[in-house]
Amino acid sequence: MQQRTLGNSGLTVSAIGLGCMGLSSGYGPATEKQAGIQLIRAAVERGVTFFDTAEVYGPFTNEELVGEALAPFRDQVVIATKFGFDTTPEGSAQRRLNSQPQHIRAVVEASLKRLKTDVIDLLYQHRVDPDVPIEDVAGAVKELIQAGKVRHFGLSEAGVQTIRRAHAVQPVTALQSEYSLWWRERENDVLPVLDELGMGFVPFSPLGRGFLTGAIDETTTFDSADFRNTVPRFSPEARKANQAFVERLGELAERKQVTKAQIAIAWLLAQHPWIVPIPGTTKLHRLEENLGAANVELTAEDLREIDIALSSIALQGARYPEQLQQMVGR
Q: Which residues are catalytic?
A: 57
Q: What is the SS3 assignment for 150? A: strand
The C-alpha atoms of residue 147 and residue 67 are separated, in whole angstroms, by 21
Short-list 178, 191, 212, CA closest to 318? 178
Look at strands 3-5 and 12-14 and give their pairing: antiparallel
pLDDT in tens, 191-245: 999 999 999 999 999 999 999 999 999 999 999 999 999 999 999 999 999 999 9
Amino acid at 268: L
pLDDT over 80 (residue 38): yes
What are the residue boundaries of the structural domains of the chain, listed by start? 3-325
Look at strands 50-52 and 12-14 and give their pairing: unpaired
Report the CATH architecture of 3-325: Alpha-Beta Barrel (3.20)
The C-alpha atoms of residue 217 and residue 220 are separated, in whole angstroms, by 6
Range in 172-181, 227-236, 240-249, 319-328 the model is least confident about: 319-328
The C-alpha atoms of residue 92 and residue 86 are separated, in whole angstroms, by 6
The H or E element spanning position 154 is strand 150-156
pLDDT in tens, 131-156: 999 999 999 999 999 999 999 999 99
Predicted TM-score of the model (pTM): 0.97
The H or E element spanning position 306 is helix 300-311
